[in-house]
Structures are given as C-alpha cells and as structure tokens.
C-alpha cells in the first residue's frame, strides 16, 4: 500500500545507501495534498458546477443509450488477436497529422472482456506474471443492476481514445468490440503496450467492493524484479503518470479518492498484477469507482459521467506526456 515514488522530479535512480532520505514520506505528503487539493477544490465549487451528474443521469438505461456507436475495429488501432499482427502497421492508421501529442503512443487496456464468462477454461488458465502465476483474465464485476465492468471499461476506452486522438496521439486498444471472444490474458495485455513502445499505458477498471466503500484509486506498479517481471525501470515514470491521472480525475469528475484503501490518497501500489509487473512502459491501472456502491454505480452507469471520467484520465495522460 505504500507509495514509493515521487510525484515530481524523477528520483535518483540509485539512492546512496549511506544517505537515507525521507523523500518517500515527503512525497507521499505532497501527493496526498495534491490529490486532496483537487478534491477540495471540487467540493468547494461542485455544487454549482458539474458535480450533479448522478442526479442528471441516474439510470443505467441512459448510460446505455448514450454510449457511442461501436467503433469499427478496422477504422482504429485495435489490437489483433495475434501478437504477430502487432507490428506497428496498424498503429499508424487513423493517426491525426497534428496535435501536441503527435508521435506519442498511448495504449488503453479495457479491463476484462464481456465474453470472458463464456470461456472459463481459457481465462482460468494460469499465466506467468514474474512474481508468480495468475489466471489469464477474469470476468470483472458488475453493478447490482447488472451493468458489467467489461462494458464500462470498453465504453470508457472509446471515449478516452477519441480525446487522445484529438490531441494527436496514436492510440491502441488491447482489445475492442468484436476483436476477440475473450481476453486477452494479462501477460498479453502488458505485451501489447510493450510492443507498441507506448509512451503511456493505462488499464481501465471499476471495482467490486462492499457498499459504502466508494471512490476511485489509481494502482501504481511496485518496483518488482522476479522472473520475467522487472518494473524497476518504469516504476518512477509510472508513479508520475498515476499521480497526474489521479489529480486530474478528481478535479474533472469530482469522484473522491477511495475511502477504503490507499489512505485517502487515491493511490495504491501493487506488485501482484501481471498487467503491471510485465510492463516495460509506464503504466497504471485506474479503478474509477465501486460498482457495488449505489452512489458510485449511479455515476459509473452515466454516459455523461463516463465522458468526464475519460476527460479526467486524458488530461492526466496529456500532462504526463507533455512533461516527459
């Protein structure tokens, strides 16, 4: 749960053992302050601003009808089921010719897959995540009204892709509507980002915790080195990416940092996720809210809220890329 990397200037790669510093503690404080500042700013103005989305669009039905039309996978840069097709040929398709992020590559990983439930043998297969073995993939959670996390993540991915492409970025999804019946496995999800040489990668999720637990959190990769996993080279940059996203997410959506983990920072560091352990590019996960909490569920099922969620994530990625 500890946050081990600084938000701002890159850390000294090798801290001298004889000179222990309190930087992680200080930086944690700065992060907390930064994230909460955004939240407090929202709290101060949210009532008169755009913070009433849950009331404006409380039903899942509205969310469904407001979801964007399915993108044609062929028209975008969706992952192919075959890693061998991930040769960069597709990633230039549809890339805008201009924009501040021209030439930058972002990989978006929509967590889970709506088809996973029908392929239990495939997704239960164990894959090597460096620190151990885990299921290839999982089905994800759902709201009490059965809005699946996999639908949420895919819709959010489409919205986020549009925003980043408007900034000139080249965007690749690890999977998309109709590209594959299940998965990809978590190791392949990481590999797709690696092979795309992504400047930033993000895996999109919503949590399935107990009612009353609410808020978002960004999951940062711990610095692990075991087997095929070595996140030491990307840990610091990933932490900057995550902090940037957390700050903009709280500001744009008004969603509070999780009240059930992360100590109110909206940031959690983990070393047990294959999608992070196997990444060689800066990468984070975001759990946008708790699908099993009624307040959060009203937001997660709102198309207008998902649009703001995409904007918050996009702004965090853009700020990270413009500083790196």
Give contact residues for Zn ion (rule: CB under 5 A): 111, 140, 205
Helices marked H in 97-177 — which ranges?
120-124, 149-166
Residue number with CB closer to Zn ion (6 or 274): 274
CB of 285 vs Zn ion, minimal distance in Å = 8
Coil, strand or helix at 94: coil
323 is catalytic: no
Is the Cβ–Cβ distance between 275 and 186 less than 8 Å?
A: yes
- Give every CB contact of residue 169 below 8 A, 6+ residues apart in sequence: 99, 101, 102, 104, 105, 106, 321
Q: Which of 69, 91, 94 is closest to 80 using CA atoms?
A: 91
CB of 142 vs Zn ion, minimal distance in Å = 11
Residue nearest to Zn ion (CB): 205
CB of 112 vs Zn ion, minimal distance in Å = 6
Residue number with CB closer to Zn ion (111 or 312): 111
Q: Which of 287, 311, 315, 323 is catalytic?
A: 287
- End-to-end Cα, the chain, rounded Å: 26
Q: Quote the CA–CA distance of 223 and 240 in Å, as a whole number.
A: 14
Residue number with CB closer to Zn ion (5 or 140): 140
Q: Quote the CA–CA distance of 95 and 88 in Å, as a whole number.
A: 12
Burial, 100: exposed, middle or buried (Cβ in 10 Å; 0-12, 13-18, 19+)?
exposed
Instruction: Indicate the DSSP class of residue 149.
Output: H
Residue number with CB closer to Zn ion (276 or 318): 276
Give strand pairing partners of 110.
Answer: 204
CB of 82 vs Zn ion, minimal distance in Å = 24
CB of 205 vs Zn ion, minimal distance in Å = 3
Residue number with CB closer to Zn ion (180 or 251): 180
Residues taking part in catalysis: 287
């Amino acid at each position: 749960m500890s946050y081990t990397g600084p938000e701002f200037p890159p850390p000294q790669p090798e801290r001298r053992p004889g000179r222990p510093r309190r930087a992680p503690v200080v930086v944690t404080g700065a992060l907390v302050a930064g994230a909460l500042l955004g939240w407090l700013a929202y709290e101060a103005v949210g009532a008169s601003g755009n913070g009433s989305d849950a009331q404006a669009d409380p039903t899942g039905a509205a969310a469904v009808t407001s979801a964007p039309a399915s993108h044609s996978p062929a028209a975008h840069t969706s992952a192919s089921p075959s890693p061998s097709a991930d040769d960069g040929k597709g990633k230039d398709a549809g890339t805008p010719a201009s924009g501040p992020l021209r030439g930058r590559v972002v990989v978006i990983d929509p967590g889970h897959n709506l088809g996973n439930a029908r392929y239990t043998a495939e997704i239960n297969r164990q894959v090597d995540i460096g620190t151990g073995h885990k299921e290839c993939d999982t089905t994800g959670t759902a709201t009490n009204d059965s809005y699946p996390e996999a639908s949420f993540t895919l819709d959010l991915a489409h919205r986020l892709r549009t925003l980043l492409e408007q900034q000139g970025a080249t965007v690749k999804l690890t999977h998309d509507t109709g590209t594959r019946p299940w998965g990809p496995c978590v190791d392949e999800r990481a590999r797709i980002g690696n092979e795309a040489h992504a400047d930033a990668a993000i895996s999109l999720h919503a949590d399935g915790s107990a009612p009353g637990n609410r808020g978002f959190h960004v999951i940062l990769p711990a610095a692990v080195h075991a087997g095929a996993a070595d996140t030491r080279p990307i840990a610091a940059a990933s932490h900057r990416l995550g902090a940037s996203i957390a700050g903009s997410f709280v500001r744009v959506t008004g969603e509070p940092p999780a009240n059930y983990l992360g100590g109110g920072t909206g940031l959690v560091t983990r070393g047990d996720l294959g999608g992070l352990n196997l990444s060689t590019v800066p990468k984070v996960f975001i759990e946008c809210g708790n699908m099993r909490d009624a307040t959060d569920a009203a937001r997660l099922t709102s198309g207008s809220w998902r649009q703001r969620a995409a904007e918050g994530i996009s702004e965090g990625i853009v700020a990270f890329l413009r500083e790196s």
